[in-house]
Amino acid sequence: SFNIYLFEQEALQREQLLENKLATLQRLVETTRQASDLGWKSLIDEDRLLSRVEVLENQLQIYSKNFAEDKLREELRKLQEDKCQYQGSAKESLRKVLQEKLEAIQKLQDIERLYHPIFRAFIGGCSISRALRLWRS
C-alpha cells in the first residue's frame, strides 16, 4: 500500500514536470511566432522603403536631365495617349460586364414569368399534372 502511494506520488511529480515543460515549450513557440511575425513585417517594411527610394531616385534622374522642351512635350503626349487607351479599355470592359449582367437579369425575368403560374398552382395545392395544364393553357 505504501509502495503504491510512492508510485502514485512519483507519477504525479513526473506529470507535473511534463506539464511545466509543455507550458515552457508553448511560451517559446509563441515567442518565436511573434518574433517571426515581427521579422516578416520588418522585412516587408524595408522592401517597401527600398522600392520607394528607388522610385524617388529614378524620378530625380529624370528631372535632373536637361530634356529639351520638345522632348518633354512628346513624352507627355505619349503618356496622355497611353492614359486614353487604358481608360478606353477599362470602359469597354465595364460596358461588357454591365451588358452581361443585364442579359442575365433579363433571362431571369423571362424564366420567372414563364414558371410563375406553375409556382402559384403549387402554392395553391394543385397537383403537378393540373399545374402543367394550367401553364400550357
- Assess if residue 47 is contained within a domain: yes
Q: Name the pTM for this structure.
A: 0.38
Cβ-count burial of 117 within 10 angstroms (0-12 exposed, 13-18 middle, 19+ buried)? middle
Question: Among all chains, which residue has been given the C-alpha cell 512628346?
Answer: 74
- Assess if residue 11 is contained within a domain: yes
Inter-residue contact 131 to 118 (CB < 8 Å): yes
Predicted confidence at residue 13, as pLDDT, reads 92
Q: What is the per-residue pLDDT across 7-51, written as a single tens digit (0 to 9) for each?
A: 899 989 989 998 889 888 888 888 888 888 788 788 788 888 888
State the average pLDDT over residues 69-88.
79
Q: Specify the DSSP class assigned to residue 137.
A: -
Question: Among all chains, which residue has been given the C-alpha cell 403537378?
Answer: 128
Where would I find the H helices in the chain?
A: 2-64, 69-123, 128-136
Number of domains composing the chain? 1
- Assess if residue 58 is contained within a domain: yes
Q: Compute the distance between CA of residue 61 and CA of residue 56 in angstroms, rounded to an integer.
A: 9
Top pLDDT among 69 and 15 is at: 15
Domain of 29? 1-65
pLDDT at 89 over 70: yes
- Assess if residue 93 is contained within a domain: no
